[in-house]
Amino acid sequence: MSSTPPDEDGSPSAQVSRTRPFYSSWAHVYDLLVDDPVQPWVQAVHAAVSAHNGAAASTAASTAASILDAGCGTGRHAAALVDLGYQVSLLDAAPQLLAIASGRCPGAPVRCEDLTTLRPPPLYDAWPAAAS
């Protein structure tokens, strides 16, 4: 897994993400504890990106729109967007969660970075943040 290195100092939330047992020690059970439904969030993102690109929400993501899943966690939402045909990049401050997300979304670019100190990312069609 390649990743963008976090800032040297790290923001307070990035430091918490790296040290809090919920994210580091318990990443493997994260989905059992945080079980918010993937839908309707993915449908809403798809509809918004489709509207922005002038396509019908019922069509596949044939435009190959690029999405940054900001605060992706274990990648459940990102995987659903990949299934719709989107090019998804993963971003989270917790490396353990990113490892799981990258397994769900093989080949997706990975950024280990905190949302509060996010450097300007490459251009994306959307960068939603579910529950972040």
- Mind listing the pLDDT tens digit for each residue in 122-132? 788 787 877 66
Q: Which CATH number belongs to the domain containing residue 28 in this structure?
A: 3.40.50.150
**What does the alpha-carbon distance between residue 132 and residue 130 come to, in Å, rounded to a whole number?**
5
Helix, strand, coil distribution of the chain in percent, nearest 5: 35, 10, 50
**Domain presence at residue 124:** no
Mean per-residue pLDDT for 3-31? 66
For 115, half-sphere exposure in the C-beta direction (CA atoms, 13 angstrom radius) is: 16
**Domain hosting residue 65, numbered range:** 12-117
Q: Structural domain tally of the chain?
A: 1
pLDDT at 63: 54
Q: How many residues does the chain have?
A: 132
**Domain presence at residue 85:** yes
Which range has the worst mean pLDDT, 29-38, 82-91, 111-120? 111-120
pLDDT at 18: 58
